[in-house]
Amino acid sequence: MPVTTADITLTPEELRRYNRHLILPEVGLEGQKKLKAASVLLVGAGGLGSPLALYLAAAGVGRLGLVDFDVVDETNLQRQVLHGTKDVGRPKLESARDRILDINPHVQVDLYKTRLTSENALDIIKEYDLVADGTDNFPTRYLVNDACVLAGKPNVYASIFRFEGQVSVFGTPDGPCYRCLYPEPPPPGLVPSCAEGGVLGVLPGLVGTIQATEVIKMILGIGTPLIGRLLLVDALHMQFRTLKVRKNPECPICGEHRTIHELIDYEQFCGLPSRNGEAAAQQTAEGEVPEITVHELKARLERGDRPVILDVRKPHEVQIASIGHDLLIPVDELPERLSELESYRDREIVVYCRSGARSARATKLLREAGFRDVKNLKGGILAWSQEIDPSLPQY
């Protein structure tokens, strides 16, 4: 049975803690009780999940659920302020819980150490008043959107990349959903991840705090939420723009003639291999992307059987770490610069990047352009550092 403000009391300690809220006419005692009665599910305890968890806990939201299955890595610390150096190697949920309870011991923290999937999403989401989506991939965004619409829960959405962010509120009865804005996902590999493209460390704090503000406004029923509006944040030039987003009557999940009545396979929908086939190599139109391991390449180099080595990272990445190359062509520029590879058309080419994702795309592109003997360096620079040369910096 849902908790109501009639069931809520604030202790003297809580009255002192929330004093600055209580003196706001828009919040007051009744509003603080609404916050304490509310439950919010945070999908992701990373960059966006950090300011969400910190500020929702500090504001006095009574119950926070966190979904995450990752562990804290050193590369997280530049932006994921829920976690500290001492937490490296710990599950993110554990360090997040400790930090939340340190901020506000009056908050109930529920942990879901799992990947959100079509099998468990509805069961988890139905327990909460609203959802804050802080995920970083398209399959999960569509999953969260569809589950929220089917469960009748508002979805406070945000995303970040490099210096830019987006925030909106989806899934309300009269407002649009994520599918109304993005009916189809982008082709696989077209939009690089933050691990590939980078992200300004403070950007999740800026965007995630806006996202937390929207959550609090929705709980309190005050102000003008970002329903039917998409806020665009450009931190590099410090510009904010708002675009109108209309509810699409033909939307397959929230439209007048719904065609989606249950959760689907979102990896397949986004053109990715299913989780069950995750161990398989990335696919091309002709089959698997051919790969070579770092050990195989090292052995080849040592015996003088050197292939042509193509680095498809950005030039500034080469300054951080490199295993050498014959050609440096960023993957985004490769279609326009294929002529630079013409003299190597009949030779073996090994393509590498930071982790193997961009080089897999480049390998596929080259094979489709008629380069038959092309291999992707499995694991990229990271694998070379972990398995061949530990002195090579990881980034």
Q: By C-alpha distance, which of 104, 21, 96 is closest to 58?
A: 104
Which one-letter amino acid corresponds to residue 78?
Q
Place of tokens 């569509």: 142
Residue 110: strand, helix, or coil: strand
Give me the pLDDT at residue 7, please: 84
Q: How confident is the model at residue 16 (pLDDT cuts 50, 70, 90)?
A: very high
* 353 catalytically annotated: yes
Give me the pLDDT at residue 283, please: 40
Give me the pLDDT at residue 27, please: 97
pLDDT tens across 28-64, in order?
A: 999 999 999 999 999 999 999 999 999 999 999 999 9
Which residue among 177, 194, 251, 254 is the active-site one? Answer: 194
pLDDT tens across 352-363, in order?
A: 999 999 999 999
> Which pTM does this prediction carry?
0.79
Q: By C-alpha distance, which of 128, 204, 137, 210 is closest to 169?
A: 210
pLDDT tens across 296-313, in order?
A: 999 999 999 999 999 999
Place of tokens 């989401």: 125
Section 137-142 average pLDDT: 95
Give me the pLDDT at residue 189, please: 67
Residue 314 clears pLDDT 50, i.e. is over it:
yes
* 270 catalytically annotated: no
Q: By C-alpha distance, which of 195, 275, 207, 284 is closest to 238?
A: 207
Q: Is the sign of the CA dihedral 254, 256, 260, 261 positive or negative? A: positive
Section 254-273 average pLDDT: 90
Give me the pLDDT at residue 215, please: 98
Give me the pLDDT at residue 276, please: 43
Alpha-carbon torsion angle 314, 316, 317, 323, nearest 10 = 100
Q: By C-alpha distance, which of 233, 248, 229, 266 is closest to 141?
A: 266
Give me the pLDDT at residue 337, please: 96
Query: Which residues, at least 6 apart from 305, have a Cβ–Cβ distance to it below 8 Å?
Result: none
Residue 384 clears pLDDT 70, i.e. is over it:
yes
Give me the pLDDT at residue 191, please: 74
Q: What are phi and psi of 89, to 5 degrees?
A: 95, -15
Alpha-carbon torsion angle 332, 333, 339, 340, nearest 10 = -110
d(CA 30, CA 10): 10
d(CA 82, CA 48): 10
Give me the pLDDT at residue 288, please: 74
Lowest mean pLDDT segment, chosen from 208-212, 236-240, 271-275:
271-275
